[in-house]
Every structure is written in structure tokens, then in C-alpha cells.
Amino acid sequence: MVTPSRITLARKRRGMTIVELSRKVGISAQSLSNYEHGRQHPSEETLSKLSDTLNFPESFFLGAELDEIPSGSVAFRARSKLTAGRRDVALSVGRLALELDEEISKRFRLPVADIPSLDKPDPESAAEMIRARWGLGQTAISNLVHLLESKGVRVFSLAPEYSEIDAFSFWHQEKPFIFLNTLKSAERGRFDAAHELGHLVMHGPVRSLTGPEAEQEANAFASAFLMPRRSVVAHMPKGPFIDQILKGRKIWKVAALALTYRLRDLDMLSDWQYRTAIVELSKRGYRTGEPGGIQRETSQVFGKVFKALRDKGVSAADVAKSINIEPDELSKYVFGLTLTSQGGEGVRTSAPRPALKLISSDTDAAPVHKVKRAARG
């Protein structure tokens, strides 16, 4: 029997209204509404049309009921105010990612979350407390995505067709989730990840603070977390020239503009110097991009997961089938690693490697496979 909530989820994932989808399928909007509310069930022919139009296998619509992610529990980082439809798309992506995380968790033991909810600290103090808790000191973070994964954060990529959403995060069943846009520069992606970490730490599972104030706090946290005060003061001169800023950004792997903002906040640039630097950086193209930037960070967990599964004869297509989605849909959530990852090791990093233990596979009950946590270098 068709599951009503899954029709709604698939429709929202494709960014369609009831009217739009009903026209494409060739049924009335009222009929589709009835399907989504369980008042009627679609015929086999209609189900086939829904499957083709929404690009989900028919089996997807026959699965168990899926509860929605409450929109109030999600922190969005977007370039402009999101419409309800675009929020629905993001939330549907989040819900499908929960299905993938559940499936992976059946096969592997992933790191337990080590993301404390702090009791109303200011962003600077919160960043220092997390750095101290994780033993980071004042050092620059080599790979933030790998670090977050080692601390139990589930990090997913956003489908490229939704470029207006920079990132979002939420808690679900005591697990923290972060979703990142992969179209931005690698440096800005790192800042987005740190921004979302700020939400998880300071605003908690129940989203104690929302709106512009919450965004400002998360930005301040990200800046302090990536560019610790004492580290910046130690490495940068007061009133640095543009070339010194461009050299400094490579230390902390941040955007030139982000470092400029941080220098102003630390009173290392006067207002006049700050404005002059922003104008010059904009002229050099740093407003819209990051010339000569770093390599994009991707998931280490998914690389290891898909390699371990391949070694057991389980393909990415098998994983997609297990949660009733198409392989290309799966690839959009895992940084494309189902298509590109060969060794599963990713870029060498000094961040801790996530503890990963294969519980079982679909092919046999071979001895447990362990991936040891590497020491920080």
C-alpha cells in the first residue's frame, strides 16, 4: 500500500506544488491531495506516473511512514530569505539523509557525538571552549569536515541545483547533522561548516535563538573558531598590507574577506584600513571568489564507508536501493563520493580520523572490520 507521507516528501524534494505535480501526472489536484492525506490510494498506473515524474522508484512510495523534520529545529544559512517551497526542499533532503544515516548506522559504528550544548556563552568564549574540549589549542584546523565527522557530526552535501541555500543544520535523536553547499569556494564552505557548528553548540536541539541575532552569533563563533584570537595576534602584524592578508588567509584556510573582518574585530585594522582593504580585495576578485584557493573538503566517513562496502561486494547502487532512492540521488548527498572515491582515504589531514567499525554486510558475516583513529599530527 502506498504511504501518503512519502508522496509528499518526494513532491517537496522536487520542489513541486500539488498543482504542478498533478498537472504533470495528469490527475486532479484534489486527487493528489487525497493521496497525500491518505483519503485515497493511487492506482498502479498513477503510482507509475508519480514514480516517473518524481524520479523515485515505486518501492520508495511503499516504505514506512516518515515523520517530518520540524522546520523550527533547523538553522538555515541562505543568501536571501527562503521561500516556503525552498525550505521544504531542504527539509526533504534532510529527511532522506536521515534514511541514509540510519542505513549506514546499521552496518557501521560511527563516532558518538561530542558536541556539547553550552549554557548561553558569548560566541568567542564558546569557540574557545570547544577548541579546548577537542584539544585543538590555537592551531589552525587542517580539515574541518574531517574534524566534525570525528566528533560525531553527520556531514552531507547539498544537491547543486539548490544554490541559494549555503548550509543548514539540526539535531535529530541526539545526532547533529550539517548540510553544505558545494558550489561555493572551499574557504567559504569551511566558514559555513563552522557557522553551523556554532548553531549546534550555542542554540541547541530546540533552537533557543533564531533570526538575525542567532545568525550573528553563529558568524562570530565561526570566525573565532577558525581564527583563534591568540593565533591571529601571533601571526599577523597590526595594520597588515593586502599581501599580508592574502598570505595570512592560507594559515587558517579562510577567505581573505573573512580574515579581514576578523582583523577588524580584533582591533588590528582601523575602520579606514578595513574599508580600504575591502575595496582592494573586491577589485582583485575576492568578493565573488577566492583566487588561488584551497582544495574543497569532502567527507572522510563516506569515502571509508563506500570503500568498505565495495570490499564486501556491496555497491553504491545497492545502498541506494536499500533506502529506495536512485543512485544519482544518493551521490548528491555524499559529495559525489559514490562515483569518484576509489581508495576511500581522501586528502591526508591532521584532523582525527573518524572511528569506523563495519558491523555487517549484506553478503556475509565476516569478522568485524575496524578503522583505527589516527593520532593528530
Domains of the chain, each with CATH number or no CATH: 4-66 (1.10.260.40), 73-226 (no CATH), 229-283 (no CATH), 300-371 (no CATH)
Q: What is the pLDDT of residue 79?
A: 64
| Inter-residue contact 154 to 101 (CB < 8 Å) | yes
| d(C-alpha 377, C-alpha 362), whole Å | 36
Mean pLDDT of 325-336: 95
Per-residue pLDDT band at 366 (split at 50, 70, 90): very low
Report residue 346's pLDDT band, with 50, 70 and 90 as the boundaries: very low
User: What average pLDDT does the structure give for the chain?
Assistant: 89
Residue 347: pLDDT band (50, 70, 90) is very low
Average pLDDT over residues 241-269: 98
The total of other beta-carbon atoms located within 10 Å of residue 126's CB is 23
Q: Has residue 6 got a pLDDT over 90?
A: yes
CA distances from residue 13 to 10, 88, 205, 207 in whole angstroms, order as listed:
5, 7, 24, 24
Secondary element (H or E) of residue 165: strand 165-172
Pick 341 or 262 by higher pLDDT.
262
Higher pLDDT, 47 or 338: 47
What pLDDT band is residue 350 in, cutting at 50, 70 and 90?
very low
How far apart CA 134 and CA 115 sit, in angstroms, is 10
Cα distance between residue 219 and residue 349, in whole Å: 25
Calculated CA dihedral for residues 289, 295, 299, 304, nearest 10 degrees: 160
- Assign 163 a pLDDT band (cuts: 50, 70, 90): confident
Look at phi and psi of residue 305 and say left if phi exceeds 0, alpha if psi is from -120 to 50, else beta: alpha
Phi, psi of 112 (to 5 degrees): -75, 145
pLDDT > 80? residue 263: yes
| Confidence band, pLDDT 50/70/90 cuts, at residue 207 | low
Q: Could you tell me which of 313, 375, 298, 278 has the C-alpha nearest to residue 344?
A: 298
From 82-86, 140-144, 301-305, the region with the lowest mean pLDDT: 82-86
How far apart CA 372 and CA 374 sit, in angstroms, is 6
Beta carbons within 8 Å of 48's beta carbon, 6+ residues apart: 58
Which amino acid is residue 89, in one-letter code? V
Question: Is there a contact between 302 and 334 (Cβ–Cβ < 8 Å)?
Answer: yes
pLDDT at 311 exceeding the cut of 70: yes
39-53, 104-118, 251-265, 271-285: least confidently modelled range: 104-118
Helix (H) or strand (E) holding 13: helix 4-13
Q: Is the separation of the CB atoms in 256 and 249 below 8 Å?
A: yes
How far apart, in whole angstroms, are the C-alpha atoms of residue 114 and residue 152?
6
- The answer to whether the beta carbons of residues 218 and 126 sit under 8 Å apart is no
Structure confidence at residue 99 as a pLDDT band (50, 70, 90):
very high
Supply the pTM of this predicted model.
0.89
- Give yes or no for a contact between 258 and 163, defined as CB atoms under 8 angstroms apart: no
pLDDT 10s digits, 120-139: 789 999 999 999 999 999 99
Can you tell me which residue has the cell 569515502?
303
Q: Would you mind telling me the total number of residues written for the chain in this entry?
A: 377
Higher-confidence position of 365 and 107: 107
pLDDT band, very low/low/confident/very high, at 3 (cuts 50, 70, 90): very high
pLDDT at position 322, please? Answer: 96
**Residue 180 forms beta bridges with which residues?**
157, 167
Nearest to 334 by CA among 75, 93, 76: 93
Give the tens place of pLDDT for each residue, 288-310.
999 999 999 999 999 999 999 99
Q: Give me the pLDDT at residue 368, please.
A: 28
Q: Which amino acid is at 38?
A: G
Of the CA atoms within 13 Å of residue 127, those in its CB half-sphere come to 23
Position 287: which residue type?
A: R
pLDDT of residue 369: 32
141, pLDDT greater than 80: yes
Is pLDDT of 364 > 80?
no
User: What is the Cα–Cα distance from 18 to 28, expressed in whole angstroms?
Assistant: 9
| Residue burial 244-280, b: 16+ Cβ < 10 Å; e: rest | ebbebbeebbbbbbbbbbbbbbbebbeeebbeebbee
pLDDT band of residue 354 (cuts 50, 70, 90) is low
Partners of 109 in beta bridges: 357
Backbone phi, then psi, for 371, in 5-degree steps? -120, 115
Question: What pLDDT does residue 209 have?
Answer: 66
Q: Which residue has the cell 547533522?
A: 177
pLDDT band at 356 (very low <50, low <70, confident <90, very high): low
Contact 333, 157 (CB under 8 A): yes
The pLDDT, as a whole number, for residue 360 is 38
Structure confidence at residue 363 as a pLDDT band (50, 70, 90): very low
